[in-house]
Amino acid sequence: MTTLTLIGGETMAYSDADRAAGGAALGLLAGAYAGPETRVLLAGPHATELIDALADRCAAVTCLVRTLTDAQALARRHERNPRVRVLCGSLDAFTPGGDQDLVLALGGLGRLHSPDGARLTWQSSLDRLIAATASAGVLLLGVENPLGVHRLTTAGGLPAPDPAEPVGHSALVARLREAGLHVAPSYAAFADPARPTVLARTPELDAASGAVPLLAAEAAAAFSAVTRRRPLLDDPRRLAGAALRAGMGAQLAPLWVVAAGRAPVRPHEPLPSAFVAGGAHAAHWDAAVAYERAEDGRWSRRLLSESGTTLRMVGRVARTPELLTGAVAPDRLLEEQLLAACAAHDLPAVRELLRAYATWLAATPSAFATCDNVLADGDRHELLDPSWHLSAPIGADEALARALRGFAVTLLTSGLPHPWPASLDVESLTVSLAAAAGRPLTREDARAAVALECEIQAARQVLPEQAEQELRCELGTVTARHTALAARDWRSMTGAMDRLAGELAEARDEITWWEERVRTSTREHERHLHRYRSSRSFLVGRAVTAPLRLARQTVRRVAGSSDT
C-alpha cells in the first residue's frame, strides 16, 4: 500500500504533469545511479515511465510533488507497491532525512514551491536537497539553460529569469562546489529541456573532439522532432550545429544534468561519453545508443541493452537497431560540405563531392544514404545511421533521386547562397545536381522521388493516411519561396521575403530592358522603312503601279455603291 503524505502547502487544482522531466535518455542516466539497494527521492514532477522504472528496481522510492492532483495520481498508480511513498507539499515544508542514496531533481528547482508555502531561494532549495542526500549519495540535478539554443531561437515568450539562479554551466558547477560537493562531469542535453533525447558529456564537446559531426547531426535530428510548426526566430538546428562546431555545445545546450555528492560520485555502471534515446522518429522506432570515445580518440557506437533489438517494420521501411553498433567515422556530413561549397559558388567542388558520392551510391544503393545521413571524406563514405533499410531492393537512380531532391529542397528552402539561377525549381535543380554528379536523371525521376520520400517520412513518423497525404502534397510543391520545411523561422521568412522583393525588382528591370529594346528596334524599323519609301526604285514602282491601284479603288467604289 502506497502512502500519500500531505506535508503542508500542497498546491490545489493544478498539475505539473505536462512539464514533467523524463524521456528515455534521462531514464538511462538516472538508471546508471540506481541499484537494488538504492533509496531514491524524486523531487519535483517527473515522468511516469521514469518513476515506474525506478520503482521496479530500487529499494525505496519517495516522490515529492507540490500538487495534490499529481500526488494522488502517483499514489493510485503505485498503490500496490509498498516501496513507493508519495509526499505532497511545498519544499519548505519538507524535512530532509539525509538518507537518500539518489536524489533526482531533473526538472530543476523551480517547480518545488507552492503558492501556499514559503518560496525558498535557489540556493536554499539546493541546500534542502543536499540535506536529503545520504553522505555517499548522489544528487542528479537538471538545470535549464537560459541561454540555451531552444530559448535563443524561440519566437514565443520566455519566463522571467530568477536572479539567484547560476547563469552558465561553469557558474552552476562552481555553486555546487561552493556547497562542498564533488561534481562529476555534467551532461549537456538537447533539444527539449523537459525530455531531452541527446545527452553528451561536456568535456566531449570541445571543437577538436571527433564527435562534433555526429553530435551535430544528432542534435539537428532532435531539434527537428520538437520544433515542427512552433514559431521560431531562427533554425535551432543551424545554431546548435554552429555552437557544437565552435566548441560551445556545453554553453548553449538547452539543459545541463549534473551529478554531485558529498563523496566522489560513482555511478553503478560506467556512463558513456554520450547517449541518444528517442527523438527524431515515432516511439515505435526508438533504439537507445551510447557513443564512446576510445583511447585513440576514435568514436564508436553501441546499442544499449535496454532497447529492443528486433527488426521493426512499417510498410516497406524497416529498422535493424543492431546495425547501429560499430565504429563511427569522424568525417563531416556530406550535406554540410555541399552547402559550404554551394555558398562559396564552388561548382567544381560540388561536382567532385557529388561524383564521389554518386559512384559510392551506385555500388551500394540505399534509400537511406541521403546527404544528411552520409559522412564523407573524399572517396570514403559511411552511413551515419546504418540501421534503416527498405524491405524491397532499390535502384541506384531511385536512391540518387531521393537524396538529390532532398538536398535540393534543403538548399532552396534554407535561404543560403548557391550558384544556380533563383528561378530554378526543385526538379530542375535535382536534374542539375544529377548532371553534376555525372549520373543524369530526368525531371520525372525527380518527381517520382517524392513518393519514396513521403513513404519513408510517413513510416518514420508512423503517420495516419490523412497526414501522409498532406505531407505528400507539401513535399511535392516545394519552391524556393517556401521557408524551411521543418522549422518555419523568422529569419527564413524574412529571407524568403527579401528574395521575393529582389525577384520582383529584377523582373521589373527586365521589363524595362525589353521596353527599351522594343523602342530601339521600332525606331530602327521606321528608319529602314523611311529609307525604303524615299528610294528611287520604290517611287518608280509606285508610279508604274498607280493605274492598277486607281482601277482597284474604282471597282471597289462601284461594287460598294451597287450593294446599297
Binding flag, residue 436, other proteins (CB under 8 A): yes
Report angle CA 46, 276, 134 to the nearest 5 degrees. Answer: 45
Site string for other proteins, 496-535 (x = CB under 8 A): ------xx-xx--xx--x--x-------------------
Write the interaction track for other proteins spanning residues 143-182; mark x where CB under 8 A is met and - where it is not. ----------------------------------------
For residues 410 and 222, give the distance between their C-alpha atoms in angstroms, rounded to a whole number. Answer: 17
Q: How far is the CB of 512 from other proteins (least distance, A)?
A: 8
CB of 510 to other proteins, least distance (A): 5
Span interacting with other proteins, options 13-21, 123-131, 436-444, 487-495, rule CB under 8 A: 436-444
Among candidates 90, 46, 49, 50, which has minimal Cα distance to 70? 46
Among 38, 224, 337, 432, binds other proteins (CB under 8 A): 432
Is residue 448 close enough to count as binding other proteins by CB under 8 A? no
Q: Which residues contact 305 (CB under 8 A, 6 or more apart)?
A: none
CB nearer to other proteins: give 379 or 509. Answer: 509
Query: CB 440 → other proteins: shortest distance, Å?
Result: 6
What are residue 381's DSSP bridge partners? 376
Q: What is the DSSP letter of 534?
A: T
Nearer to other proteins, 168 or 495 (CB): 495
- Give yes or no for residue 342 binding other proteins (CB under 8 A): no
Neighbouring-strand partners of residue 201: 187
For other proteins, which stretch binds (CB under 8 A), given 50-58, 78-86, 204-212, 429-437? 429-437
Q: Measured from the CB of residue 358, what is the shortest distance to other proteins in angstroms? A: 11
- Residue 470 or 506: which CB sits closer to other proteins? 506
The whole-angstrom separation of Cα 462 and Cα 314 is 7
User: What are the grid coordinates assigned to 479, written together?
Assistant: 519552391
Q: Going by DSSP bridges, is the β-strand pair 317-319/388-390 parallel, antiparallel, or unpaired?
A: antiparallel
Site for other proteins in 404-423 (CB under 8 A): 419-423
- Which residue from 98, 115, 297, 440 is in contact with other proteins, where contact means CB under 8 A? 440
**CA 346, 351, 352 angle in degrees (round to 5)?**
100
Does 444 engage in binding with other proteins (CB under 8 A)? no
Q: Which is nearer to other proteins, 380 or 443 (CB)?
A: 443
C-alpha cell at 348: 567544381
Q: 226 forms bridges with which residues in the sheet? A: none
Residue 396 C-alpha cell reads as 541506384
Return the residues of window 252-291 that contact other proteins according to CB under 8 A: none
Could you give the CA distance from residue 380 to residue 336 in angstroms, rounded to a whole number? 16
Cβ–Cβ under 8 Å, residues 189 and 359: no
Least distance to other proteins, CB of residue 362, Å? 14
Tell me how far, at minimum, the Cβ of 351 lies from other proteins, in Å: 8
Going from the C-alpha of 454 to that of each of 311, 395, 450, 459, 488, the distances in angstroms are 21, 17, 6, 8, 19
Max Cα separation, the chain? 127
Number of residues that bind other proteins (CB under 8 A): 27
- List of residues 6+ apart from 524 with CB closer than 8 A: none
Which residues in this chain contact other proteins in the complex, by CB under 8 A?
345, 347-348, 419-424, 428-429, 431-432, 434-436, 438, 440, 443, 502-503, 505-506, 509-510, 513, 516
